[in-house]
Amino acid sequence: MICLGIEGTAHTCGVGIVDDKANVLANELDMYRPEKGGIHPREAANHHSDVVVPLIRKALDVAGVGMRDIDVVCFSQGPGLGPCLRTVATAARALAISLGRPIVGVNHCISHLEIGVAKTDCTDPVLLYASGGNTQVISFTNGRYRIFGETLDIGIGNMFDKLGRELGLGYYAGPKIEKLAAEGSKLLDLPYSVKGMDLAFSGIMTAALVHRARGERLEDICFSVQETCFAMLTEVTERAMAHIEKKEVLLGGGVVQNKRLRSMVKQMANDRGAEMFVPEPRLCIDNGAMIAWTGMLMHNAGVRMTIDETKVDQRYRTDEVVVTWR
Ligand code: FE2
């Protein structure tokens, strides 16, 4: 059985093809890169509408399968930017209807967890999902994927990007911040914004910019932002693991490429006799293969959707999904 998945919640349009053994036959993607400023949802959607058909063709080529070999068409139903979601949902519907195949809408956040379980050795992890638009700590308990902690304002990656723009580092600032942080050593005072199990990042950015205005070194600002934010993420993840007694932590999302974040989470896991798992980079970032694989699990567990039910949901909550495949 072969599933094709289309991802398009934010800046990435991706098309993945997987088989029922979780082999990734193709995982093609194209990222919208704004010339200046952040993601404009309409422009990102226009980008997706330009690239989605070529990406489908390329994915089929790479996988070495024909259009007719696709058994199920899956797509990212939410959460995400409305225009982007609607664009890829339209592509998925057109493909499913023209091929006469079932269509499955997938929760994007859950798909980060499912691909991690499929492609690493973990079985029942707590997922630390840290990306541009999302920051959540998720795990499966009592029949659903529950959110144990999440950002109350913006995703951590979004904060890094905004901070990077303000500091003149350009867009996709995460790697640049990481590089500068490695040269920093002075821990500046920033708000440690853990609220119960939730997190907030925008105040940290404001405080960091105040430090910059006072003449602190860029390197020390990046170092302090990383140390503070990653300590917050690690703390919430650890508390979730302790609360539900899980011995595995899985990383997902673009921000987990950061080596300092990994080392902090790994140390926390080691200290509590747990293990950390990280999928390969192309399966960590937003991609079509994770959508295809989660759609495969859902379809095989009997999930069926009418076209009416494939309406996108910008605020699709992880814990709304009725999980029938575990
Ligand atoms: Fe994501």
Cα-to-centroid distance, 71 and ligand 1 (Å): 25
Position 37 pLDDT exceeds 90: no
| Mean pLDDT rounded to a whole number for the chain | 97
Position 133 pLDDT exceeds 80: yes
CA distance 233 to 80: 21
Amino acid 38: pLDDT: 81
Task: State how far Cα 218 lies from the chain centre.
Answer: 28
Delimit the CATH 3.30.420.40 region(s) of the chain.
Answer: 2-112+283-320, 124-278
Amino acid 170: pLDDT: 82
Q: State pLDDT tens for residues 272-290.
A: 999 999 999 999 999 999 9
Position 172 pLDDT exceeds 90: no
Cα-to-centroid distance, 95 and ligand 1 (Å): 23
Predicted confidence band at 119 (pLDDT cuts at 50, 70, 90)? very high
Predicted confidence band at 39 (pLDDT cuts at 50, 70, 90)? confident
Question: Both ends of the chain: CA-CA distance in Å?
Answer: 19
Q: State pLDDT tens for residues 143-152.
A: 999 999 999 9
Angle, in degrees to the nearest 10, between helices 218-244 and 174-181? 100
Cα-to-centroid distance, 127 and ligand 1 (Å): 12
Predicted confidence band at 35 (pLDDT cuts at 50, 70, 90)? confident
Domain 124-278: CATH superfamily is ATPase, nucleotide binding domain (3.30.420.40)
Cα-to-centroid distance, 256 and ligand 1 (Å): 11
Cα-to-centroid distance, 135 and ligand 1 (Å): 9
Position 171 pLDDT exceeds 80: no
Cα-to-centroid distance, 198 and ligand 1 (Å): 18
Predicted confidence band at 311 (pLDDT cuts at 50, 70, 90)? very high
CA distance 198 to 236: 8
Q: State pLDDT tens for residues 42-72.
A: 999 999 999 999 999 999 999 999 999 999 9
Cα-to-centroid distance, 254 and ligand 1 (Å): 7
Q: State pLDDT tens for residues 197-226.
A: 999 999 999 999 999 999 999 999 999 999
Q: Which two three-digit tokens encode residue 95?
A: 């493909």
Cα-to-centroid distance, 199 and ligand 1 (Å): 18
Amino acid 34: pLDDT: 85
Annotation: CATH topology of 2-112+283-320: Nucleotidyltransferase; domain 5 (3.30.420)
Cα-to-centroid distance, 110 and ligand 1 (Å): 9
Amino acid 36: pLDDT: 79
Q: State pLDDT tens for residues 173-192.
A: 999 999 999 999 999 999 99
CA distance 142 to 148: 13
Helices (H), the chain: 41-63, 82-99, 108-119, 156-166, 174-181, 202-213, 218-244, 259-271, 281-284, 288-300
